[in-house]
Amino acid sequence: MENLTHYPVVVFAVAFVSLSLASAAGAWLRRRNVSMTEEHKDDLSLILAASLTLLALIIGFSFSMATNRYDQRKNFEEAEANAIGTEYLRADPLPSADAASVLKLLSYYTNQRVLFYSNTDDARRTRIDERVGQLEADLWATVRGPAAAQPTPVAVLVLAGMNNVVSSQGYTQAAYWNRIPIAAWYLLAAIALCCNVLFGCRMQTTGKLALVLPLVVSISLLLIADIDAPRHGLIYVSPQNLESLARSLGTKVHCVAIRCPRMVLISIP
């Protein structure tokens, strides 16, 4: 079950409401404490400035963590496409029937990897993961047979390429699980709430100006959550390399089927 930080719009809504209430609570405390002197106000301003500086540092640190993970997911998508394309080239020297089967399976596999990146439905993602696992097993069995029957350097190279295909998928999955720790979100939320309470205490007037800081901080949290969320935000990794490879493999599979009408077609549910 994904937590709320996987949904950027929910993060923005919860943050804006909570921080607005914190600012209102600070304004209520200011009205209750009518005996506050100028010295107290100066001290409060100093504390507010220091707290906002700390909040800005933590927001910047969290933003850096999110962008690093986003870049990592992009790099692994490119690595997946390269591994699959390389394995297609390496499988060409195999016997014609085995090469045709590997090519067909790689085409199905690439399409499933594209769906992995573009899908946002949790239940469907589970089915995609199951199909990917089955296809990896089928691909490995397809290249293992020729290598066991005829252990030539070419067969070993094909096995190594298939290992890279499976490994790249594992690296991608790990990158999608690697998110900003929930403890960091708790720390960020606690400091943001404290800053807004101090902001409300220091504000001399009430009205729309009291919503400026909650809005700015909420937008910052929205951006961090959007970049960190690999599926449910506006900013996500587009599988453009895999899509290009899928089109290329689809064309090549069609050509192989014309040249080799006896090729066994493998259906994937």
Average pLDDT for consecutive 10-residue bins of the chain (269 residues)? 74 93 87 72 84 92 91 92 88 79 87 86 83 89 76 80 89 88 90 91 73 91 90 83 82 44 36
The reported pLDDT for the residue numbered 139 is 87
Distance CA 129, CA 113 (A): 9
What residues does each domain of the chain span? 4-259
Distance CA 4, CA 10 (A): 7
The closest of 162, 202, 236 to 8, measured between CA atoms, is 236
The reported pLDDT for the residue numbered 206 is 64
CB-based contacts of 146, cutoff 8 Å, min separation 6: 94, 95, 98, 155, 158
The reported pLDDT for the residue numbered 79 is 92
- Helix ranges (DSSP H) in the chain: 8-32, 38-91, 96-118, 122-149, 153-177, 182-202, 212-228, 240-259
Distance CA 207, CA 179 (A): 37
Among all chains, which residue has been given the structure tokens 């394309």? 85
The reported pLDDT for the residue numbered 2 is 54
Q: The whole model's pTM is what? A: 0.78
The closest of 140, 37, 157 to 93, measured between CA atoms, is 157
